[in-house]
Every structure is written in structure tokens, then in C-alpha cells.
Amino acid sequence: DAGITQSPRHKVTETGTPVTLRCHQTENHRYMYWYRQDPGHGLRLIHYSYGVKDTDKGEVSDGYSVSRSKTEDFLLTLESATSSQTSVYFCATSSGTYNEQFFGPGTRLTVL
């Protein structure tokens, strides 16, 4: 499996506070993705990156921003967290070929 880590693994925060989730990979994959998973919705793409400083929106990008200053790191920021952003967040990477994506272990975020 690709070396993908996510931090933190669990976080509880309050409405209105900023939150940053980090995804780190050691595989030098070009593409990186942030998904959220909620009961009844499956996995939904938030943002993705196709290179350093190159990012684009996914299906559910409102309320989220991302940054990728290095190949190995992809940050997801909730500028002002809301209760609707309580979810499990997964990072994934891909070398860009054959669509095989490798997923991290996930971050469970609770916004009170």
C-alpha cells in the first residue's frame, strides 16, 4: 500500500473555529484527493490536486479550501467549521494511471 498518513486521526472542535487536516504521502504521486464520507451518501469528492499548487473543486467543495505547496502534502481547511461538516475525511493519492487510488486511514471530525 502507498504510504499515506492523515493527521489528526480524530478531532472535536466547535462551530466557527478553523480546522486544518493534513494528508502526507511518500509515494511521489501526482494526484491527491480529499473525500468526505457520511451515512447514506457514500464517498464524495471535496477537492483534488493534479500537481503542486494545482487544485480544483470536487462535488462538495463549499466551505472547504485546499493547498498543496509540496508534492507530499495536501491540506484541507475548514475556514469556519459548521456542524454539517461533521464527517469522516479520507485522503487519497494516485499516480494518474489506471485510476487506482490509494486511501489514507481517515480523520474523524466532529463539529459541536
- The residues that touch other proteins, with contacts defined as CB under 8 A, are 31, 33, 35, 42-45, 48-50, 56, 58-59, 90, 92, 94, 96-106
Which CB, 56 or 79, lies closer to other proteins?
Answer: 56
- Tell me the three cell numbers of residue 67: 493547498
- Which residues have CB under 8 Å from 112's CB, separation 6+? 12, 13, 14, 15, 83
Which CB, 17 or 52, lies closer to other proteins?
Answer: 52
- Which residues have CB under 8 Å from 97's CB, separation 6+? none
CB 96 within 8 A of CB 28: no
Rounded to a whole number of angstroms, the minimum distance from the CB of residue 12 to other proteins is 17
Which CB, 78 or 91, lies closer to other proteins?
Answer: 91
Rounded to a whole number of angstroms, the minimum distance from the CB of residue 75 to other proteins is 17
What Rg, from alpha-carbon coordinates, does the chain have? 13
Which CB, 59 or 79, lies closer to other proteins?
Answer: 59
Rounded to a whole number of angstroms, the minimum distance from the CB of residue 94 to other proteins is 5
Rounded to a whole number of angstroms, the minimum distance from the CB of residue 87 to other proteins is 14
CA–CA separation, 41 and 22 (whole Å): 23
